[in-house]
Structure 1
Amino acid sequence: MNSKKVDDRIPVTVLSGYLGAGKTTILNHVLNNRDGLKVAVIVNDLSEVNIDADLIRDGGGLSRTEEKLVEMSNGCICCTLRDDLLQEVEKLAKAGSFDYILIESTGIGEPLPVAQTFTYVDEEQDIDLSKLTRLDCMVTVVDAHHFWQDFNSPESLQQRNQEAGEDDTRHVVHLLTDQVEFCDVLIINKCDMVSTEELEKLKNALRGLQPSAKIITTSYGQIDPKQILNTGLFDFDEASQSAGWIKELLKEEHTPETEEYGISSFVYTRKVPFHPERLLNWMAKWPKSVVRSKGLVWLATRNNTAITFSQAGVSRQLTPAGLWVASLSEEERYAYFGADYPKSPDWDDEWGDRVTKLVFIGIELDKEAIIDSLDAALLTQEEMEGNWRELADPLPAF
């Protein structure tokens, strides 16, 4: 007799999304249409008065005797309250009285650390949620009406008084990008507030940022609960590699967008370093068609340091990503990597692993114009043969 093992772990769905996107409305709608599931709800709201929890208590139809609402309002479950989240979920799972756990993350929370909480063993507390629960679906809710306004804003969370703490220096656009790039389901809410043309543009841009997620469009949070409950969609490794820029960089097979959608992407690869001043000038004239770009940069004046470039909306950042393997001595390579140090596919005898490799995702990209303008920022043959240290470098020290 062939019997399939039953997975009796409690499934979990996590709702992420920026402030005001409509997570609580969606959660209430799901709770009111959950076909008899006994649900435990965890709500993470940073305000002193947990407004979201009050809305769910009033509007979600939770049974006081059979179900539970856990309020977590003195921090963020993706960082300061991670230990509390572990303990609460373990307690709910061991109670054995629930069919499902629904979590509404704070509007400034990132989904990846929350997913890690359910995927890895916490050795300090000796809690392994993967044995008790099954992370079923990571959902990100997007506000159709305000997405572009927030995505193109230069403001930080601190400037909006929305930061998680004193050390939270994130920009709004980076938070939005993190939320969109790590999910199984993207719900575009408040679609009634934008035109059909605007909605199509947003859907296509989100497809470029996150080609793997299932996209649902709705108004007033009206979705079929089956679209986010017991989906079996979540896979940590797949979710970690699902962002559009990663897929393009790894050259994975994914459905190419048609010209009708206007979304396209390409990888710019060069084994010649950038002139820092010309690169900075290029960044200042950023092509508006580019929605997202990310990758590694080789700078002539910082020849030992690999540099990460990341752009989303109007935000552009250059940060150190460590040393090029080629910049290490044989002794250092042996100390770091042992006898067989990793050689990247871009390795060559002269420059080693030094390379510029940038992914560009955008709407109606002029690929050739972008490539030509970037090529103009590379060192010329004459500069390649000169003293790179004498080149003008207006970029800040790392």
Structure 2
Amino acid sequence: MKIPATIVTGFLGAGKTSLIRHLLANVRGRPLALIINEFGDIGADREIIKGCGIAECDETDVIELANGCICCTVADDFLPAMRQILAREPKPDHIIIETSGLALPKPLVKAFAWPAVRNAVTVDGVVVLADAAAVLAGRFAHDPAALADQRAADPSLDHDSPLEELFEEQLLCGDLVVLNKQDQVGAGDRPAIEALVRPYLRPGVGLLWAEGGKIDPVVALGLGIGAEDDLESRPSHHDDGQDHDHDEFDSFVLQVPSIADPALIETRLKVAIARFDILRVKGFLAVDGRPLRHVVQAVGQRLERYYDRPWRPDEARQGGLVVIGQRGTAGGLDRASIARMVLDGLPA
């Protein structure tokens, strides 16, 4: 019997890690294996999952792929990770794969057709998370009918922006789409948000609303699609063989010394996010006199902070924040200026 695997995808900050933490806390002892793909040089998502304090979240069950976007490193990273999982005894009941927020899901689904994987694993389904407030703001979606009208009127109109194209790619490959962070939009806004998303959903794809990624594990891990046998129904801008280019995006790690007041970093980050159009910030801070690690996650101007677990004796009490943005945006992702803005006056 094949092991089912669920691919969890979605744009930066949509809530993929929150969804996985919720699933881990509610699978009632089922043995799971996780593959976490990061965009950035520190394993923030893996560390957040490991720091959740859930018994089912054993460190050996989580494999991190940090050498590049999973859709571009299938042979080098994903397939060896799958072989590692399949060699385990006992084998997991289910495999969850969290893609980078910049990944195209279809190349990953294609990898399940490889003989080394196909005989042992099937893609139960592709779950796509979307940040409802971001969709409403038009940051990661557009009106497809209006765009078609504009193209018809102006043949020289350039292709979609990388963010819009990536958002579409993820929706087009999905078997279940979760409009997350419903608490951050009004009930009256929901029809407009759904109208922006539905044109990219294939027939039969479910659409759910959620807060904090909280959906029933029976739904998320029981789609039974067999997506590797359903590739033709999942259109992609890259079906012509054109490479997915990550050069449109940039990331770096901002090293932060131990600080007295994390609220100061929050204030400065919000200014930097607005000034440099930063898409995503995630990582950890060390706070003077506090034994617990301080988690920081930001999507646009929405920033969340909380303490998760004690620093281990073998860890340096040093903060680190992954900063992700687009190249070529107004002001650019100016690493030196962002560092000065956030770290000015702090101990070296």
Inter-CA distance 193–211: structure 2 relative to 1 (3 Å threshold): same
Q: Distance in 2 between matches of 1:26 and 1:39?
A: 14
**Matched ranges for 1:1-398 at <5 A:** 8-59=1-52, 61-63=54-56, 68-97=61-90, 98-121=92-115, 128-147=116-135, 148-152=138-142, 171-212=162-203, 213-238=205-230, 240-242=232-234
Q: Give the C-alpha shift of residue 20 in structure 1.
A: 0.5
Question: Counterparts of 2:89 and 2:161 in 1: how far apart (Å)?
Answer: 39
CA distance in structure 2 between the aligned counterparts of 1:60 and 1:238, rounded to whole angstroms:
37
Equivalent pairs, count: 218
Q: State the distance in 2 between where 1:181 and 1:230 align.
A: 20
Which secondary structure state, in structure 1, belongs to the residue aligned with residue 67 of structure 2? coil
Decide whether the 8 Å contact of 2:110 with 2:231 is kept in 1: no
Q: Check conservation: 1:28, 1:60, Cα contact below 8 A.
A: no
Measure, in 1, the Cα distance between the counterparts of 2:58 and 2:43: 21
Unaligned runs of 5+ in 1: 1-7, 122-127, 154-168, 247-293, 295-398
Tell me the SS of whatever aligns to 2:106.
helix
d(CA) in 1 for partners of 2:22, 2:223 = 17
Q: Deviations over 1:281-309 (max 9, x none)?
A: xxxxxxxxxxxxx9xxxxxxxxxxxxxxx
Deviation at 1:135, TM superposition (A): 1.1
SS of corresponding position for 1:149: coil
Q: Name the SS of the counterpart of 1:142 in structure 2.
A: strand
8 Å contact 1:94–1:132 — kept in the other structure? no
**Aligned AA (1:234):** G
Displacement of 1:66 in angstroms is: 8.8
Q: Distance in 1 between matches of 2:57 and 2:13?
A: 27
- 1:12 Cα deviation from its structure 2 partner: 0.4
Deviations 1:174-231 (Å, cap 9, x if unpaired)? 0000000011110110111112232122223322211431111111111101111132
For residues 213-252 of structure 1, give each alpha carbon's deviation from its aligned partner in whole angstroms, at most 9, with x where no partner exists. 1111111111101111132023345453256xx9xxxxxx
Q: Under a length normalisation based on structure 2, what TM-score does the superposition of the two structures give? A: 0.58
Q: Which residue does 1:363 correspond to in 2?
A: none
Distance 1:83 1:227, change over 3 A: same
Shift in CA distance, 60/229, structure 1 to aligned 2, threshold 3 Å:
farther
Deviation at 1:21, TM superposition (A): 0.3
| Aligned amino acid, residue 191 of structure 2 | E
SS at match of 2:112: helix
Q: Cα–Cα, structure 1 residues 111 and 235, in superposed 2: closer, same or farther, change >3 Å?
A: same
Distance of 1:239 and 1:203 partners within structure 2: 24
Deviations 1:62-117 (A, max 9, x none): 54769511111121111135431101112211323211111100000010001011
Pair member with larger Rg: 1
1:22 CA displacement: 0.4
RMSD: 2.5
Instruction: Give unpaired runs (5+ residues) of structure 2.
Output: 144-159, 238-348
Identity %: 27
User: Residues 63 and 220 (structure 1 numbering): CA distance in 2 closer, same or farther, change over 3 Å?
Assistant: closer
Q: What TM-score does the superposition give when structure 1 sets the normalisation length?
A: 0.51
* Structure 2 letter corresponding to 1:102: I
